[in-house]
Each structure stands twice: as structure tokens, then as C-alpha cells.
A = this chain, B = another copy of it.
Amino acid sequence: MKKLTQSMEDYIEAIYVISLTSKVIRVKEIAKFLNVKTPSVVDAVGKLTQRGLVIHEKYGYLELTDKGCELAKEVNDKHEKVYKFFNEVLGVSDSISKKDACNIEHYISKEAMDRMIKFIKFVDTCPEGYPEWLKNFNYYAKHGKRPAVCHKRSVSK
């Protein structure tokens, strides 16, 4: 089956995200979520329905099929991970990280995705907690130079 377009990915992801906090899903909510008008949503939902990703009772509620849900989760997962990487590793602000993730999620390769995920894990599982080098990077990014070296004594004995 052909890949979804960026736009269709947005729609299916929106439905998924809305479903996380909302019992029922309506055309209007999707429109609001994505900042588009309702006819655009109807159009998109029609296409997603044809592909068996969404079920839509006319004039009624929407839901994702299993396949649709799976796909939506994949897209959203990329979003979350790119967001986390930009925000937590690179230190990009929340709002910009969100925007960037929104766009990049449609384009980034599996391989790069994998590396970002591993990078986050690498940071999160650092034996000494939040790693020194990342602190130093944040300092560097902010001040344009490394922090003054702290000639700390060896911990080993």
C-alpha cells in the first residue's frame, strides 16, 4: 500500500491524539486541532476511510481502525521522539521543538530516528545521572564557551 502523504499523516495523527483525551471524535475537533476548515477534514477523512484507516458514520463520530491506530501511533511516536530530542538534548524551547517535530516527523528516516531514540536513552541511562558533558554543552550553547574547568580531584582511590 502506498505511503500516506504528509497531510494524511497529519490527519490520522490528529485523530489519534484527540482520542487520547476525548471520548468521541468529531470532524469539527479535527479541524480545530489542525487549523483547517471542516470541508478539508471531510475530504481527508474520506480518503483515510477508503484506505481502511478510519471509520466514519455520516454526520456522526469517527474512529481509527486497528490498522489506522497502528499507523497513527507510528507517526505520533516519531513526533514525540523528535520533540524530546530537540528539547532535552539540543535544548530547543518547548514551543519550537513542538513545531519542528510537527514538520520533521514526516520526513525523518528510520535510521536517524533510531539514533535519536538511542541518544535520549544514552543520556537517560547515564550512570552518573544527568551527564556532565551535556551540562557543558548547555553552558556552551548559552555562553559561547565551555565552563571554566573545575580541576576536581580524582574520585578513584
Contacts and interface: CB of A to CB of B under 8 A. Distances in A.
Interface of A: 86, 90-93, 96-97, 99-100, 103-104, 107-109, 111-112, 115-116, 118-119, 121-122, 125, 127, 131, 133, 136-137, 140-141, 146, 151-154, 156
Contact of A96 (B103, B111, B116, B154): B111
Contacts of A104: 104, 107-108
Identify the interface centre among A112, A125, A152: most chain B CB within 10 Å of its CB: A112
Nearest to A137: B122
A-side interface mostly: helix
Nearest to A149: B127
B90 A119 contact: yes
B133 A112 contact: no
